[in-house]
Amino acid sequence: MQGKEVIVYVSDNCKECDRVKEYLELLGADYKLKNVTEERNFLKELQTRHIYATPATIINGEVILGFQKQKIENELYDLSIK
């Protein structure tokens, strides 16, 4: 997990966003939080990737939409079969 770039796009009043943050904290992952409600430029960043909803977690360039516990864990620990 060390050396992974983790960015989490969230919005206000989003339970799924809270679940993603809580799970990353439980795993001890360092992540950069980008709140699209507070900063409209973050929303534009997401839209350039054709993403229009939160939460969106990006781990070393891999996009995970919503709260997908297993996918987050797979990307953090390189467990994905590619």
The separation between CA 48 and the C-alpha centre of its own chain, rounded to angstroms, equals 16
Kindly state the average pLDDT of the residues 21-45: 96
**Residue 70 pLDDT exceeds 60:** yes
Higher per-residue pLDDT: 80 or 46 = 46
Question: Which of the listed CATH numbers 3.40.30.10, 3.30.750.24, 2.10.260.10, 3.30.70.20 matches domain 6-76?
Answer: 3.40.30.10
For residue 66, how many other CB atoms are within 10 A of its CB? 14
**Residue 51 pLDDT exceeds 60:** yes
- Measured CA to CA, the distance from residue 21 to residue 31 in angstroms comes to 9
